[in-house]
Structure 1
Amino acid sequence: MRVLIIIIFIAFQGSFLFAQKEKKDIHDGNKLYEQKKYKEAEASYRKSVAKSQQSVAGNFNLGDALYKQKKLEDAGKKFTDIANSSADKGVKAQAYHNLGNSLLESSKLEESVAAYKKSLINNPKDDQTRYNLAYAQEKLKQQQQQKKDDKKKDDKNKDKKDQKDKDKQDQNKDQKDKDKKDKDKQDQDKKDQDKKDGKGEQPQPDKLSKEEAERMLEALNQEEKKTQDKLKNKKAKGVKGRIVKDW
């Protein structure tokens, strides 16, 4: 029985000493934290957590040191684990509050609003959390409005581009139509000029008027009569040749 008592006493003393070392690491970490030596404070808090993984103070302060170093994702995971594992409403409220801060700093506004709301469920009287919630909601509202404005701007720019493309297509079509008209006019002008120069189509006989046909026929008759008269005169004169004396 005495041996058992000694063993229990030794085990209790060892556990007490171990807890004292854990608290010393947290205490050292707090001093470094106050001096804004957040990296060194993180190392001390990790030592305390290594000795007791269930240490609320060690884990909570470790999350704070990570947050101060802008290690927001790691800090957020730490606060989420604390909030999910703790049954103490006060601890859960603080963990969700700090989680909301980490998410807000990461511009995850919807998630930060949800975290602040969970914090207030566990501690409805926390004015600081209520203020942060209102701030996050206002930032979220501004973000959503900015997205709407950007979409309107994009749609407007798209409409302008589409209109510009359409105007360009219409302009190209008008230019093609103008070029075709100019070419048709040039071709017609050339045809008209060729007609004036006598290079166009000759008038067809069936297109002559009756008076023109009679005048042409009369002219042909006159030419033929002149030709016959010339031939007659030529015969009357005879052909000059060598005269052979016949006496």
Structure 2
Amino acid sequence: MKQFIIVVLLLLQASFLFAQQEKKYIKKGNDLYQQQNYKEAEANYRQSVGKAAKTVEGNFNLGDALYKQKKYDEAGAQFTKIATESKDKQVAAKAYHNLGNSFMEGKKYEESVAAYKKSLLRNPQDDETRYNLAYAQKMLKKQQDKDKQDKKNDKNKDKDKNKDKNKDDKNKDKDKKDQDKKDQDKNKQDQDKKDQQQQPQPNNVSKDDAERMLEALNNDEKQTQDKLKNKKLKGAKMKISKDW
């Protein structure tokens, strides 16, 4: 029995000493936090929670110190842990409020809205959370509208690209047809030129030669006419064969 009592006393003493250490680190962390030395404050808060990590104050302040250092993901994880594990509605409401703030800083507006709503479920009278919720909803709508507009713009860009592509294809077809026509016309011109070159070309005759040739032709024509006048042509007689 005495041994049991001694063990209990030792456990109580150890628990008391641990609690004292927790308070010591929390106090030092709070002082550093007030001095805006958030990194050192974080180190002391981590010492305060230790391996057991049961102290609500130490865990909560650790989340705040992380938040002040813009370690929003780590801060969010810390506040999520507090909010889900705490049986105190007020503590959970504050943890969800700070979780919403962490999401807001990370521009995760949808998650932020959800966190603020959970906070208000546990503390409907918190006007600051209600204000933050309205602001987060506004930012979420703005983000959604922007996403819709971006999708619309991307869709229009795709349409314009297709139109430009079709236009380019049509222009290419037209250019090809024009070029084909030019090639055909050129081939025809080349063939015509070639045909002309193959045709016999008239001899170049001087003016004097032309006059002599004309005079010779006239003389031949005159002699032919004279011969026809002097010669009498006899009519041809046809032989008739009788069948009766």
Q: TM-score, normalised by structure 2?
A: 0.75
Give the Cα–Cα distance (whole angstroms) in 1 for the partners of residues 89 and 119 of structure 2.
9
**Correspondence list, 1:1-247, <5 A:** 8-9=8-9, 11-50=11-50, 52-197=52-197, 199=199
Opposite residue 124 of structure 1, the aligned amino acid is P
1:106/1:67 CA distance change after superposition, 3 Å: same
Give the Cα–Cα distance (whole angstroms) in 2 for the partners of residues 125 and 9 of structure 1.
44
Give the Cα–Cα distance (whole angstroms) in 1 for the partners of residues 196 and 163 of structure 2.
49
Give the Cα–Cα distance (whole angstroms) in 2 for the partners of residues 92 and 14 of structure 1.
29
Question: Which segments of 5 or more consecutive residues in structure 2 lack a partner in the other structure?
Answer: 201-244
Give the Cα–Cα distance (whole angstroms) in 1 for the partners of residues 7 and 197 of structure 2.
136
Q: Are the equivalent residues in 2 in contact too, given 1:64–1:75 (CA < 8 A)?
A: yes
1:10/1:157 CA distance change after superposition, 3 Å: closer
1:190/1:95 CA distance change after superposition, 3 Å: same
Give the Cα–Cα distance (whole angstroms) in 1 for the partners of residues 139 and 64 of structure 2.
23
Q: What SS does structure 1 have at the residue aligned with 2:50? A: helix
Opposite residue 111 of structure 2, the aligned amino acid is E
Q: Are the equivalent residues in 2 in contact too, given 1:93–1:119 (CA < 8 A)?
A: yes
Q: What SS does structure 2 have at the residue aligned with 1:27? A: helix
Q: How far apart are 1:187 and its partner, in Å?
A: 2.7
Show the counterpart of 2:221.
none
Q: What SS does structure 1 have at the residue aligned with 2:151? A: helix
Q: TM-score, normalised by structure 1?
A: 0.74
Question: Which segments of 5 or more consecutive residues in structure 1 lack a partner in the other structure?
Answer: 201-247
Give the Cα–Cα distance (whole angstroms) in 2 for the partners of residues 7 and 181 of structure 1.
109
Give the Cα–Cα distance (whole angstroms) in 2 for the partners of residues 29 and 114 of structure 1.
31
Give the Cα–Cα distance (whole angstroms) in 1 for the partners of residues 192 and 44 of structure 2.
105
Q: What SS does structure 2 have at the residue aligned with 1:87? A: coil
Deviations 1:206-247 (A, max 9, x none): xxxxxxxxxxxxxxxxxxxxxxxxxxxxxxxxxxxxxxxxxx
1:78/1:187 CA distance change after superposition, 3 Å: same
Deviations 1:93-149 (A, max 9, x none): 001111111111112111111111100000011111111111111111111111111
Opposite residue 174 of structure 1, the aligned amino acid is K
Opposite residue 176 of structure 2, the aligned amino acid is K
Opposite residue 151 of structure 1, the aligned amino acid is K
Give the Cα–Cα distance (whole angstroms) in 2 for the partners of residues 8 and 187 of structure 1.
115
Q: Are the equivalent residues in 2 in contact too, given 1:79–1:99 (CA < 8 A)?
A: yes
CA-atom RMSD in angstroms? 2.2
Give the Cα–Cα distance (whole angstroms) in 1 for the partners of residues 194 and 4 of structure 2.
135
Give the Cα–Cα distance (whole angstroms) in 2 for the partners of residues 111 and 53 of structure 1.
26
Deviations 1:42-71 (A, max 9, x none): 111111101752110011101111111111
Opposite residue 117 of structure 1, the aligned amino acid is K
Give the Cα–Cα distance (whole angstroms) in 1 for the partners of residues 180 and 3 of structure 2.
117
Show the counterpart of 1:208.
none
Identity of aligned residues (%): 51
1:187/1:51 CA distance change after superposition, 3 Å: closer
Corresponding pairs, count: 200
Opposite residue 40 of structure 2, the aligned amino acid is E
Give the Cα–Cα distance (whole angstroms) in 1 for the partners of residues 183 and 89 of structure 2.
90
